[in-house]
Structure 1
Amino acid sequence: MNKPIIMFDMDGTLLDLAFDDLIWNHKLPERHALTHKCSLEQSRATLYEFYQEHKHTLSWYSSNYWTSKVGVDVLKLQYEFQDKIAPRQGCFELLDHLKQQGYRCWLMTNADLASLNLKLENVNLRHYFEVIVSSEEIGYSKEFIEFWQIVQEKYPFDPAQTFLIDDTAPVLQGAGKFGIENLITILQPSTLNAPRNALELNYPAIQNLTELEPYLDQYQKEFNAKTA
């Protein structure tokens, strides 16, 4: 039986985005205000401007870039609060199921290598994945079609027989332009925020990660019908 490759995003998909929310929206503004002796409001305004300027670029995901930009050791800050790194609901149940069923799982993350390693030190995911890619290695973030082209050159795969599960719409759009056909998003990337409205999302959405299983079963039925 020909099984699709399952590609997973990390932050907001397999891991609770609450950790990143805590770091970037709370702890970094606090540390930035302390470092530069300004008010928390001023710090938030400054960082918000920086964030908007670099959103969806490689710099956005780079600990080194932000450390030099804002004068706070961002990676050290992440290590200070690493006990807050946690898997999302159904993460291990789904990955165990996929492994038992013989699916090939790949991890595709925009996290830089330092943040990726920190997270994998805290949540034991590495052994589930045949391929692990950080956009830092590729030179483009996942929002860009070039990311997927370079990944395919390095690790050949058929986009028509691939699933991508990711919480970020621009990433799913980039993957869709490249040709990945089976795109699924996440209802509640961060437990610090309310679930999103499924009707406002452009892709099928799941909450508990085990909800992916019926999509895979349906794909398999359709694939078998085509090749029968």
Structure 2
Amino acid sequence: MPKGLQPKGVARRNKMLLAAVQLFLENGYEKTTTAAIARAAGMAPSSFFAAFENKEALLLTLVQQMFNRQFENAEQLLGEQKDPLMLYGIETALQMYITELSEPLRELYVMAYSLPTTCEYIYNNTAERLSVIFADYLPEAEKKDFYEMDIASGGITRGFMAKHCHLYFKIEDKIRRHLQCCFTLYQVPKEKQDAVIDAVLEVDLQSIAQKLIEDTIVQAHRGFEAVMTTKEGKKA
């Protein structure tokens, strides 16, 4: 439960999140207004601002859920195999696949890598992970260094996400080139890069990406239902 919110406030936020997910997937981020989100959640337009400061604040909450889920899925896929480069490769490749599934999803991710608060979350959240993943290749680098390098890799990621795939630039080409750029930034030797990228491309990324999208919607439903169940239990 978000700090300082009562069950009613949490229920309002979850209803807004669910409505936003559905509208973002249908219409994209830019075309979805806060009033439309509130109405889709069954509330007055002004109720949106009782739940979130603005649309960017709502997107930040979604980004936090999405990125955590992506790393969890990558870890589950690896199982006993604990190669940190594979974890990084699968997680970032999933983002590329997700953005190819629909234009609204592409826009949502590009916005996440563009807006101030969501960018800052991504940089801070991943800097610590990066310091573990690439420790062997940058032994003298500190968290500050990884934060700064993530600004660069985030820009690379945004650029690749925004670029549409086509006959001569297939999704496999995009993933390979993107990972080559990022691994080079973090000074991974080319032989190791090639081995990891080949292994990543053997994974059924499209199916996993589709499941991630479906799980995001399911989690939004479950979050709201859990709050309502708690409220009903207290009334009884």
TM-score (normalizing by structure 2): 0.30
TM-score (normalizing by structure 1): 0.30
Structure in which a larger fraction of residues adopt strand: 1
Structure in which a larger fraction of residues adopt helix: 2
